[in-house]
Structure formats: C-alpha cells, structure tokens
C-alpha cells in the first residue's frame, strides 16, 4: 500500500533577489558600497554605547594623533597577489610568474578602512587573514605619528536577530543536493537514479520508505545541468516539491543574484506545480523554519581571499558580518544596484546552507541572544554521491550516501 507523503507549509522569500525594475544606466559600483556602509553604520552605532561607552565616535578625516576613538567604515584589503585584469596584458614584461594559486593571500597583505571622508591604513589587533574587502566594522584605536590607525579592538555587527522556532513533534525532512552535473563527464546516471528512487520511496525496506515519505522538499543547490537539459523529467517533481537554484556552471546569468533557470530547461518537470525554479541566493520558509542558502560562490570567494579553519567558519563570518557576499562586487560578480544591497542579512536564518563544496560539513552555531543556526556545506553529488537530509523537528542533519562502485 503506498504511503502518504507528509507536507510542509512553504513560502518563497526570493523577492529581494529578483532583478525586475532595475535599469542599468552605466552606473558604477560605488552605490552598493554606500548603501552597505549606511545600513551597517546605523547598526554598529547602536552597538557602540554598550561596547565602549566612554569613547567618541569620529570619521577618518576627524582622527587626531594619539587620541583614542572609534571609527566605522568599510574594509579594503590590499593584496599583492590579487589577480588584476591588467596582468594579462603585461605577461611579456612580468617578472612574477602568472600562476593561479587557490588562495591569493600573502604575508604583506594589509587592511585599509574607508568612509565617505577618507581612508586610513590599519595596524595592530586586526588580522588581515580573517577579513576581506567589503566588510563594515567599528574599530577602537588611535592614530599613530606615521598616520596609521593602531587598532586595539574590533566590533562586528554580530548575528542578526532571529524569530523563535515553534516546537514541532513530527519528523519532516528536507533533502539538499548540489553539483548533480547532469550531462557532464563526471555525471553518474545510476547514482542519480538511486537518489531519485530513494527520495520517491522506490528503494529500501518499509522503514526506509517511511522515512522517504517524511521528505517534504528537495533543494537542488546549483550546478544541476551541464549542457544536457533533459532533467528530472517529472519523475521527482511528480512525487514531491523541488526547488532548483542556479550555480556557477548553469545556463544562467553569471553575476549574483543569479536569476531562476528558465523553465524550458526542465520541460518534463516544469508542468508540475511542485517544481520551483528559484534564485541564488535562495531564501524560503518551511513550517516556520527560515532557510537561507547559496550555490557556493560567496564562500568559495572568501576561501580565495582569506583564511579559516574550515568552510563553516567562512559561513559563520558572513552571518556575523551580516552580509552574504562581502567580496561582491570587488572580486565576486554582482549586479550594480543603485539603491539597495540585497545581500545584507537582516534576520538570522535557522538553516544556512551552501552548495558545491568539497566535502560535507555541518555545525550548530549558537549566538549571544539564543540564536541557533544549522550551518551545512553540501558536497558535489557527482563527485561524492552524498546528499544531505535535515530534520525540521530538531534541525539535526544526516547524509544519504549512494555508491555504485563494485570494489567497495
């Protein structure tokens, strides 16, 4: 007897990432930085009185030598190894070999803080390795005789406020998968079929089928279609709701926010109302659980320009900086908005996921105001055979692993 599949109330919150009435009129990117600084400075100014109540807040132009104060601005990281488009034109004369390292950090990197009034080079207690261009912070310190700002302490905005989770008493699962790479050389059709059969309840014993019937949604976090548009021809979406996000290798616009993939790529699936083509980043709510995720570009870019113990730490930083993609537009392509910065994180998600990573990692991040965020790195399925299952009841995570090799 077929089992009844559970359902969950779904709201798509991608509206902020939709590029609709925007007009490109040759504008530069300074507008985004201005909007970001204005928004973040208001937040940081509100936190300063409890952080360092006795110190005055000033601007870069208002600094006085030896006088302790607080300045708020946008960080710029000067990196000698950062690739420049001009390097390609100076190959003949270049003494430095044009290698492509996975990471552009160098011991000589230094940070500069900038506001509308000017910029100042930073020294002292602010490690360049932990920061990137585009982050807005408040700094406590003083100007030195050399004209630098000697940092004594750093204040980040911290995790944004979070809505309380309503208690749930039944298991409901969301499956995350990314890097399916359908049609590419690494695509394994059998492995993919096993994944679909498992989710749709055509595999396993009664216990596994019961679990499969509790899967309420599948989220495909980027890089699903490589050349071949013959995808999930209705097989998956006929049995449960599916969200598909574009990734860096998909036939979508390159810069963030990536707009939803065209429905014609999924001719079999798009006829179903359970099929949702979504943006990247993707934000949604499922039974009052708030989700926010990307297909990986924002975290991959932080990995090139800064250092952390793992990818989850980069994710944690984006939440503490309250910005999904601080390196956009400096080293990550994004749309030149004039009046908003859609990547600002204004409320704390309960689940924050990033696709197309080298390996599966997860951690529960706890904030100072009882915020709890489940961080998830979703590995590339075509290489790992691993999908991730999240239980909406308790935000616990587990993996679904599919191997088709016979030598195991």
Strands (DSSP E) contained in 144-260 are 149-155, 173-177, 215-221, 242-245
Q: Give 161: exposed, middle or buried? Use CB within 10 Å, 0-12, 13-18, 19+.
A: exposed
Which residues are registered as beta bridge partners of 391? 173
For residues 408 and 340, what is the distance between their CA atoms, to the nearest angstrom? 52
Residue with tokens 């996000």: 245
Q: In what order do the strands lie in the sheet with 275-277?
A: 275-277, 242-245, 215-221, 173-177, 386-391, 397-401
Q: Which of 284, 227, 285, 278 is nearest to 257 (CA)?
A: 278
Which residues, 6+ apart, have CB-to-CB distance to 401 below 8 Å? Answer: 385, 386
List per-residue pLDDT tens for the chain, 408 residues long: 567 899 999 999 999 999 987 777 777 888 999 999 999 999 999 999 999 999 999 999 999 999 999 999 999 998 787 776 666 666 555 555 555 557 777 778 899 999 999 999 999 999 999 999 999 999 999 999 999 999 999 999 999 999 999 888 899 999 999 998 776 666 788 888 889 999 999 888 888 899 999 999 999 999 887 644 444 556 888 889 999 999 998 888 889 999 999 888 887 787 889 999 999 999 999 999 999 999 999 999 999 999 999 999 999 999 999 999 999 998 899 999 988 999 999 999 999 999 999 999 999 999 999 999 999 999 999 899 999 999 999 999 999 998 776 554
User: Residue 168's Cα: distance from chain center in Å?
Assistant: 27
For residues 110 and 63, what is the distance between their CA atoms, to the nearest angstrom? 20
Q: Return the structure tokens found at 59.
A: 């601007």
Q: Return the structure tokens found at 369.
A: 């105001």
The number of C-alpha atoms within 13 Å of 186 and in the hemisphere containing its C-beta is 13
> 17, 281 in Cβ contact below 8 A?
yes
Q: Return the structure tokens found at 170.
A: 């039944």
For residues 204 and 144, what is the distance between their CA atoms, to the nearest angstrom? 68
């Amino acid at each position: 007897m077929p089992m009844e599949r559970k359902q969950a109330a779904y709201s798509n919150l991608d509206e902020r990432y939709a590029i609709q009435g925007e007009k490109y009129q040759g504008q530069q990117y300074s507008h985004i930085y201005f909007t970001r600084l204005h928004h973040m400075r208001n937040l940081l100014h509100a936190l300063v009185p409890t952080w360092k109540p006795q110190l005055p807040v000033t601007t870069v132009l208002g600094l006085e030598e030896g006088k302790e104060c607080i300045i708020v601005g946008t960080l710029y990281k000067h990196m000698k190894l950062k690739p420049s488009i001009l390097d390609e034109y100076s190959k003949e004369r270049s003494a430095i070999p044009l290698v492509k390292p996975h990471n552009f950090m160098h011991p000589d990197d230094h940070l500069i803080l900038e506001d509308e009034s000017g910029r100042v080079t930073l020294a002292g207690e602010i490690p360049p390795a932990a920061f990137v261009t585009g982050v807005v912070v408040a700094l406590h310190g003083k100007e030195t005789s050399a004209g630098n700002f000697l940092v004594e302490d750093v204040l980040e905005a911290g995790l944004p406020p979070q809505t309380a989770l309503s208690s749930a008493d039944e298991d409901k699962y969301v499956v995350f998968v990314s890097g399916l790479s359908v049609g590419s050389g690494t695509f394994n059709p059998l492995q993919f079929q096993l994944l679909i059969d498992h989710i749709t309840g055509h595999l396993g014993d009664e216990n596994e089928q019961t679990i499969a019937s509790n899967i309420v949604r599948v989220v495909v976090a980027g890089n699903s279609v490589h050349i071949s548009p013959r995808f999930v021809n209705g097989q998956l979406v006929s049995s449960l709701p599916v969200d598909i996000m574009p990734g860096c290798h998909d036939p979508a616009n390159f810069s963030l926010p990536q707009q939803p993939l065209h429905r014609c790529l999924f001719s079999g699936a798009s006829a179903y109302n359970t099929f949702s083509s979504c943006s990247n980043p993707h934000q949604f709510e499922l039974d009052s659980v708030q989700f926010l995720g990307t297909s990986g570009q924002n975290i991959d870019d932080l990995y090139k320009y800064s250092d952390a113990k793992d990818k989850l730490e980069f994710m944690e930083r984006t939440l503490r900086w309250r910005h999904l993609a601080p390196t956009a537009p400096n080293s990550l392509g994004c749309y030149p908005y004039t009046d908003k910065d859609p990547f600002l994180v204004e409320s704390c998600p309960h689940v924050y996921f990033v696709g197309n990573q080298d390996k599966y990692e997860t951690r529960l991040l706890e904030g100072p105001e009882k915020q709890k965020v489940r961080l998830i790195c979703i590995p590339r399925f075509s290489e790992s055979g691993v999908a991730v299952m999240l239980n909406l009841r308790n935000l616990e995570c587990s993996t679904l692993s599919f191997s088709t090799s016979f030598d195991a």
